[in-house]
Amino acid sequence: MTTECNENQTIVTPSAVVEPQELTMSTGSDYKFSEPFKLTNQMYDDYHDNGFLIIRNMFDKDEIDKIEKCVTSEKFMENRYSLEDKENKIVRVQWKHPGSDITGIASRSEKIVNTCEKLLNGEVYHYHSKLILKDPEVSGAIYWHQDYGYWYHYGNLFPDMMTVWVAVDPSKKENGCLEVLARSNKCGRLDHHVYDGQNQIAEESRLQSIKEKCPHIYAEMERGDVLFLHSNTLHYSSPNRSKMRRLGFLMCYNKATNDPVIKHHHAQYTPLQKVPDSAIKECSNFTDFSGKEFEHPSTNTTMIGRKDLSH
């Protein structure tokens, strides 16, 4: 069920469903974008209660088409590297600062930044962004983890951080959509270790116990849908064994007061220059990536993974 919302509407959501444990979508954390957009108290509560929030069609067709044009370009993909599990690999492009291309404009847009600032109760800055590509029938899994599980080790003292997950392609159960454990953000930070070049939960028994308590949600999304993810929410995605590509554009934000005490490959506090939402459709920059500072495992010792220009 989705609920239309703008600043003049009252939000009504159904009660949370716990059974069965595997659900296609959560109740209470699923809304439809409409203008003028404003985060409501109910949406705020749903995010903090469930550990995530989905806004449907937050980027319309024209906007998501422009983002796709940019991130699938040959020039953009020159910066890719890969993560490999025991089966296959997942292609990534990662960068430090927004820049002024269409991805940078999207990550500085008021509808995204203002929502993050309200959810985190204060000014945020762009911590980093990434593109995650799962090719049809050849892409592996991303193991169960919390983003703060490893951001913690980069000197971020508080979990006042979040990921904004944008579906560039339809993201379905068949092609490895994001899966979350609702309310797992309330478990606090868990210990992680590196396995198959990825950060994952170190204690399998603890993860299994959490799964028994927290509903397992398949966060299926259409193009332009956006998922706001709490930094302590446990999430996973299965291998893409379908014939559909799965492309996700992820923007990560940190609270300004949570400036990392350790210098590393992601950004220290840098004031974010917001732009109006209209700037997304007005932007025609698909090729000038100056100022973004693409990140590679080959040049950053704090990163995991490897660069792979042959893919």
The enclosing domain of 128 has a CATH number of 2.60.120.620
Report, as an integer, the average pLDDT of 138-148.
Answer: 89
Q: What pLDDT does 6 receive?
A: 43
pLDDT value for 132: 96
pLDDT score, position 204: 87
Residue with tokens 């927290």: 214
In a domain, 16, yes or no: no
What band does 4 get if pLDDT is binned at 50, 70 and 90? very low
Between CA 156 and CA 150 the distance in angstroms is 9
In a domain? residue 208: yes
* Phi, psi dihedral angles at 236 (to 5 degrees): -160, 160
Specify if 13 maps to a domain: no
Buried (b) or exposed (e) across 148-164, using 16+ Cβ within 10 A? bbbbbebebeebbbbbb
Residue of 166 and 90 predicted with greater confidence:
166
Q: Residue 306: is its pLDDT beyond 60? A: no
Q: What span, in angstroms and rounded, lies between the C-alpha atoms of 300 and 298?
A: 6
d(CA 106, CA 119): 18
Please choose, from the candidates 82, 71, 79, 141, the residue with its C-alpha nearest in 3D space to the C-alpha of residue 304: 82
Helix, strand, coil shares of the chain, percent, nearest 5, are: 25, 30, 50
- Is the model's pLDDT at 301 over the cut of 70? no
- Report H helices in the chain: 41-50, 61-71, 74-77, 102-108, 110-120, 147-151, 204-213, 278-282
Range of the domain at 129: 30-305
> What is the pLDDT at residue 296?
86
% of the chain residues with pLDDT over 90: 75
Per-residue pLDDT reduced to its tens digit, 223-240: 999 999 999 999 999 999
Q: How confident is the model at residue 198 (pLDDT cuts 50, 70, 90)?
A: confident
How far is Cα 104 from Cα 262, in angstroms, rounded to an integer? 25
Predicted pLDDT of residue 133 = 95
Residue-wise pLDDT tens digits, 17-40:
333 345 555 457 999 999 999 999
Other residues' Cβ atoms within 10 Å of the Cβ of residue 182: 26
pLDDT tens by residue, 48-82: 999 999 999 999 999 999 999 999 999 999 999 88
Instruction: State the chain's mean pLDDT as an integer.
Output: 88
Region 1-30: mean pLDDT is 45
The terminus-to-terminus CA distance of the chain in angstroms comes to: 39
Residue 297 lies in a domain: yes
Other beta carbons less than 10 A from residue 272's beta carbon: 20
pLDDT band at 90 (very low <50, low <70, confident <90, very high): confident
Number of domains present in the structure of the chain: 1
d(CA 43, CA 46): 5
Q: Answer for the pair 95, 71: CB distance below 8 angstroms, yes or no.
A: no
pLDDT-based confidence at residue 298 (cuts at 50, 70, 90): confident
Q: Is there a domain that residue 281 lies in?
A: yes
Q: Please check whether residue 74 lies inside any domain of the structure.
A: yes
> Is residue 9 a part of any domain in this protein?
no
Q: Is the pLDDT of residue 103 over 50?
A: yes
Whether 265 shows a pLDDT value over 70: the answer reads: yes
Give the three-state DSSP class for 247.
strand
Least confident of 81-95, 243-257, 296-310: 296-310
Flag whether 155 is in a domain: yes
Q: Is 25 exposed, middle or buried (0-12, 13-18, 19+ CB in 10 A)?
A: middle
pLDDT at site 163: 99
Proportion of the chain above pLDDT 70, given as a percent: 85
Task: Give the pLDDT band (50/70/90) at residue 84.
Answer: low
| pLDDT for 305 | 47
